[in-house]
Structure 1
Amino acid sequence: MKGDSIIASEAEESSLPLLLPLHAAPSQEYEQFTCNGSVDIRGYPASKRHTGNWRACYSILGGEFCGAMAYYGVGTNLVSYLTKAQKKSNVAAASNIASWQGTCYLTALLGAFLADSYLGRHRTIVVSLMVVTMGVLLLTLSASIPASIHVMATATSNSQEALSSLGLFLTALGLGGIWPCVPTFGADQFDDTDAAEKEQKQLYYNWYYFAVNGGFLFASTVLVWVQDDHGWGWGFGIPAAVSAVGVAGFLACMKLYRYQKPGGSALTRICQVVVAAARKVNVDVPTDSSLLHEMPPGEESAIVGSRKLMHTDGLKFFDRAATITTSEDKSTDATNPWKLCTVTQVEELKILARMLPVFLTGIVFNTAEAFFPLFIEQGQVMDNHIIEQLWIPPATLTTFNCLCIIILAPAYDKVVMPVVSRITGMKRGLSELQRIGVGMVFVMFSMVSAALVETVRLDTAKNRLLMSILWQAPQYMFVGVAKVFSIVGFIEFAYEQSPDAMRSLCQACSLLMVTLGSYLVSIMLKMIDSVTAGRGSHGWIPEDLNEGRLDLLFWLMAVLHLLNLLAFAYCAARYKCKLAT
């Protein structure tokens, strides 16, 4: 009998699939189904052996690559299309692009709300990719109209502009559903309750960011070349085709995915807690948290798709919403969430309140990439010759940022994490908050590097000499390193610490910080220019940078990033992690 069991064990081991490089060893304690509430395509508890894990993530990462290539394929060279093909002025083109980019990030809130509340993440992603495909197809059509239709010039111009405007709107609307849902849906493929799968999920975030920047690199090199040399029809048509491939990939792998059920309107639940707590402003909260209202042991959470959350101290005002009064104990009010909420529902709001200060520090962090136009302007007054006959455009140095991300993101778990884990004593190297903090240090280094380069450049310009543009490489690379740490850290933080039924919404809040960072830079530059210019002064950022003080602006930003780092450290030290059952 013992020999038979050994043979059976060997046969079972031999039936395991070969593991690809991204895979890790399977958990020693194998369980048949996931324990985090995920279900398969039929709505049954998800099988660990046949669904999720890396087998499902390949198509998700591929879909993100397609979405990123569609966005950057349209946005990277959009100013050239609007000014050259549609003959718009520089001001009008810049205004349209700024509005479009802002819309892309703002629609993420809508996409996340629909995913968490009603549609679910997979359905939201598929529909959004279809919308993006339609939008880029309309852009392709608008670029092809002048060559295929011979009508009056005015009518052609109006048709082209109308199609491109509609195409840009649909693209922004679709991207709003992709950005907050893809990282969350990919993380859903790993079971939090399984130690081996949870470890693999931490690696997924790095590969997700690798896919995003892979799409950017392809779009900013190959697609830009196609658009400039082979026309806008091909330049927009390729992203449309790739986006359609992404839709097909998501539909083809539906049986492999693990799904989290949408939990209903998060906004309604938040309002219910606030209203219920306000109704009981004079009610005392019991010192024993077990007396607060919660679903009985053994029953699922009242929120669909969410695990129960344990009570935490702090923000006690909202605990009133779960406090059972004498009248509620003997009436139907116990089933009315506008008068009595569960502990899990109250903890959802507490979690969001605790996450908000951390997210707000992301506003200043995201000003770094918004400074790239100033980096490029700085490069325009430097010597851009590598050798006598070879020169590079100043904007080309942004490739250092992208290449740094593409190299470091997949190498993080193989090189960086083992080294850091020896220092911190943590198997994963750094927690989400520590990872964000490290990125903030590097983004400060970027501004210090830019300030030092500008200081030296101004001194050499006084002697009518040009400084080599390659001295700008470190400031771009520091931003790339900072993004690998902080952006991935924010993605991981938004997923791991958010309530189960609000994960897409928290991802959207993280994305919103990018928009707010850009707005902050715009406001700061206008204020600095109005304060420093005039009265015979050229200001810090004049048309001729040799007459300005761009170095002082970079030093100012370095100090601002330092203060932001200190504020983040304070918030991180006081942060209380969520406690899920």
Structure 2
Amino acid sequence: MEAVELESKGSHGGDADRRTSRNDRRSSWGCTLLLVNNSLQYMSYFGLSTNLVNYFKVELHADSKSAANSVTNWVGTSAITPLAAAFLADSFLGRYWTITIFLVISVAGYGVVTVSASAGLQSAVFYAGLYLVALGGALSPIMASFGADQFGDNESDRGRQSSFFNWFYFSINVGSLVGGTVLVWVQTAHGWLLGYGIPALLSVLALALFSAGTGAYRRHQPPAGSPLTRIAQVVVAAVRKCDVEAPDDAALLHECDGDDGMSAIKGSRRLAHTDQFRFLDKAAVETAGDKQGAQPPSPWRLCTVTQVEELKCVLRLLPVWACGIIFTAAYTQMSTTFILQGDTLDPRLGSFRIPAAVLSVFDTLSVMLWVLLYDRAIVPLARRLTGHHGGFTQLVRMGIGFIILTVAMLAAGALEVARRRVLSRHGMFVDADGAEYVPMSIFWQVPQYVVVGAAEVFTFIGQIEFFYDQAPDAMRSVCSGLAAASFALGNYASSLLVAIVVRATATGGQPGWIPDDINNGHLDYFFWLLAMLCVGNFGVYLLVARWYNYKKTMD
């Protein structure tokens, strides 16, 4: 087909090829800058956040509980602000200008933090800088959406777009690896001024790189007004026409004129009608009252099919999004119960002692390795078997991650059973420094961290791609922000689950499953519970995936 088309174009075919090649190079260069930029942002963020609790305790003289609460409050704010930034990007500013403005805010935040740390200013100043960083660093969903915008809609570009999401998550982990190790070491060895000054410089470099790539960004999604307003208009119009019968023929529903495939929503393609949520179709039924008058009817009375389908897209996304909450609740065990388990194991590696929290580096390394394997080996093989441009559909990819995380919980439970057996046979070992631990190497935890990393590559990256691809054109940043909201709610769900388990099992004088000294508890039972929740969540997910209809555009 391509050969025939090129021959019919004659000498113009070569010019078209050259233009396409130049556009591809521009797109690749722009996306490379975005990936480097994203990595620098996360180096700065993790360089600040990883050791933040110690800054509160040492420099601001907070007690352990206050320091921990200050960090969790700040991290929670950092997880929620992306939704606000994404709303601004889709509604009013556009993705390019939102990224630019928030990068400037981020630079200001890191600058205030650095000045506060160097000058010994009051904690109020430090907090101001810290929360400026939380606001300015809320760019992950917008950066992912803006990078994906640089690709077209043909089969080749969609394959490259899918690969971009893999490398986007890879760049996050590169940033977290460097920020959480090298920059934390700088803070410990050379003080807070240099330790926070480097993240500040990296944030300046991130802004400079993004600005330098301005000419390479080939596609910009224009802001289309508030998506909340458009959603409210559909609901109000449908309720007003609750007594109206929606026609079986979708062609009779109201839609904007034109054959260019674009809708009345600025920068948004027309969406094909779907049969789900048929009640909402009433909002697009043109009644006799709508036809009266010289002016077109108010969108609070009559909506287009595309506007109705926008709301349907969001409603279809929500069950998939909800399944991600339980996934995240299990995933966050890496920073809680995995560490409790590791704290009791033999930390020695020659003359070094490995803190349990450091083992999370194996998760990061696993993610980086699995991204390479997935993008270079698994996808080409799966593409040949399935014919899908991404190897797997996004729903299948996320489902595979759900299964893998279940395996990780089973691995953690099996290790806990083995740990308890060693404890019952040999008791606690006391070394020359008086430290107590079970005579079992902490490196037995590595497999469960590696498996969690594999689950991330399938599910978290699949989520980023899925929410971008299945969102309406004018709501892609907001819908991409749902992944961050799911992560935040998953952390809350994990805390709630632990509280429920402790309350339910620590009765009648029993220590319960998760006591202060886990040697007296049954952490293995908790991991089995998590595995069961993962299995149940996967069962619900299968039903949701079977029910889900992929978005279709009219172009």
Q: 1:158-183: CA deviations, max 9, x gaps? A: x430111101111111122x122000
- Say if 2:401 is the partner of 1:439: yes
Matching residue within 98, 102, 106 for 1:132: 106
Distance, in Å, in 1 between the alignment partners of 2:238 and 2:66 is 49
Q: Which residue of 2 aligns with 1:491?
A: 464
Q: Which residue of 2 aligns with 1:179?
A: 140
Q: Which residue of 1 aligns with 2:74?
A: 100
Matching residue within 41, 55, 78 for 1:67: 41
Distance, in Å, in 2 between the alignment partners of 1:50 and 1:365 is 36
Distance, in Å, in 2 between the alignment partners of 1:130 and 1:423 is 46
Q: 1:91 to 1:326 in 2, by over 3 A?
A: same
SS in 2 for 1:371: helix
Distance, in Å, in 2 between the alignment partners of 1:555 and 1:105 is 29
Distance, in Å, in 2 between the alignment partners of 1:253 and 1:275 is 43
Q: 1:105 to 1:52 in 2, by over 3 A?
A: farther
Q: State whether residues 330 and 534 of structure 2, in contact with CA within 8 Å, keep that contact through their aligned partners in structure 1.
A: no
- Say if 2:184 is the partner of 1:234: no
- Say if 2:468 is the partner of 1:513: no
Distance, in Å, in 1 between the alignment partners of 2:389 and 2:483 is 26
Q: Which residue of 1 aligns with 2:174?
A: 214
Q: 1:57 to 1:90 in 2, by over 3 A?
A: same
Matching residue within 541, 546, 552 for 1:568: 541
- Say if 2:256 is the partner of 1:295: yes
Select between 66-75 and 182-191 the one with higher mean Cα deviation. 66-75
Matching residue within 318, 338, 343 for 1:356: 318
Q: State whether residues 188 and 260 of structure 1, in contact with CA within 8 Å, keep that contact through their aligned partners in structure 2.
A: yes
Matching residue within 231, 249, 253 for 2:213: 253
Which segments of structure 1 move beyond 4 Å, counting only runs of 4 or more? 8-13, 29-33
What is the CA-CA distance between 1:32 and the residue it aligns to? 5.8
SS in 2 for 1:466: strand
Q: State whether residues 31 and 147 of structure 2, in contact with CA within 8 Å, keep that contact through their aligned partners in structure 1.
A: yes
- Say if 2:159 is the partner of 1:199: yes
SS in 2 for 1:451: helix
What is the CA-CA distance between 1:427 and the residue it aligns to? 4.5
Q: Which residue of 2 aligns with 1:38?
A: none
Distance, in Å, in 2 between the alignment partners of 1:579 and 1:48 is 29
What is the CA-CA distance between 1:571 and the residue it aligns to? 0.5
Q: State whether residues 67 and 129 of structure 1, in contact with CA within 8 Å, keep that contact through their aligned partners in structure 2.
A: no
Matching residue within 497, 504, 515 for 2:477: 504
The gaps in structure 1 that reach 5 residues or longer are 16-28, 34-46, 147-158
Q: Which residue of 2 aligns with 1:22?
A: none
TM-score (norm 1): 0.88
Q: Which residue of 1 aligns with 2:286?
A: 324
User: How many residues get paired?
Assistant: 534
Q: 1:166-205: CA deviations, max 9, x gaps? A: 01111111122x122000000000011x222222111100
Q: Which residue of 2 aligns with 1:385?
A: 348
Select between 496-505 and 566-575 the one with higher mean Cα deviation. 566-575
Q: 1:259-294: CA deviations, max 9, x gaps? A: 111111100000000000000000000111101000
| Aligned partner letter, 2:51 | N
| Aligned partner letter, 2:185 | W
| Aligned partner letter, 2:172 | V
Q: State whether residues 331 and 405 of structure 2, in contact with CA within 8 Å, keep that contact through their aligned partners in structure 1.
A: no
| Aligned partner letter, 2:46 | Y
- Say if 2:422 is the partner of 1:460: yes
SS in 1 for 2:349: strand
Q: 1:52 to 1:361 in 2, by over 3 A?
A: farther
Instruction: Kindly report which structure 2 residues correspond to 1:260-339, keeping only aligned pairs within 5 A, or say none.
Output: 260-298=221-259, 300-332=262-294, 334-339=296-301
Q: 1:92 to 1:250 in 2, by over 3 A?
A: same
Distance, in Å, in 2 between the alignment partners of 1:421 and 1:93 is 49
What is the CA-CA distance between 1:369 and the residue it aligns to? 3.4
What is the CA-CA distance between 1:69 and the residue it aligns to? 1.4
What is the CA-CA distance between 1:352 and the residue it aligns to? 0.4
- Say if 2:185 is the partner of 1:225: yes
SS in 1 for 2:222: coil
Q: Which residue of 1 aligns with 2:304?
A: 342
| Aligned partner letter, 2:183 | L
SS in 2 for 1:467: strand
Using the aligned pairs only, state the percent identity: 40
What is the CA-CA distance between 1:332 and the residue it aligns to? 4.9
| Aligned partner letter, 1:379 | G
Q: State whether residues 158 and 389 of structure 2, in contact with CA within 8 Å, keep that contact through their aligned partners in structure 1.
A: no
Q: State whether residues 52 and 190 of structure 1, in contact with CA within 8 Å, keep that contact through their aligned partners in structure 2.
A: no
What is the CA-CA distance between 1:368 and the residue it aligns to? 2.9
Distance, in Å, in 2 between the alignment partners of 1:202 and 1:571 is 22
TM-score (norm 2): 0.92
Matching residue within 387, 394, 397 for 2:359: 397
What is the CA-CA distance between 1:98 and the residue it aligns to? 0.9
Distance, in Å, in 1 between the alignment partners of 2:10 and 2:175 is 44
What is the CA-CA distance between 1:335 and the residue it aligns to? 3.4
Distance, in Å, in 1 between the alignment partners of 2:167 and 2:78 is 23
| Aligned partner letter, 2:315 | A
Select between 561-570 and 290-299 the one with higher mean Cα deviation. 290-299
Instruction: Kindly report which structure 2 residues correspond to 1:412-427, keeping only aligned pairs within 5 A, or say none.
Output: 412-427=374-389
Q: Which residue of 2 aligns with 1:149?
A: none
Once superposed, what is the RMSD of the aligned Cα atoms? 2.2
SS in 2 for 1:234: helix
Q: 1:489 to 1:31 in 2, by over 3 A?
A: farther
Q: Which residue of 1 aligns with 2:54?
A: 80
Distance, in Å, in 1 between the alignment partners of 2:276 and 2:524 is 44
Distance, in Å, in 2 between the alignment partners of 1:88 and 1:195 is 55
What is the CA-CA distance between 1:525 and the residue it aligns to? 1.0
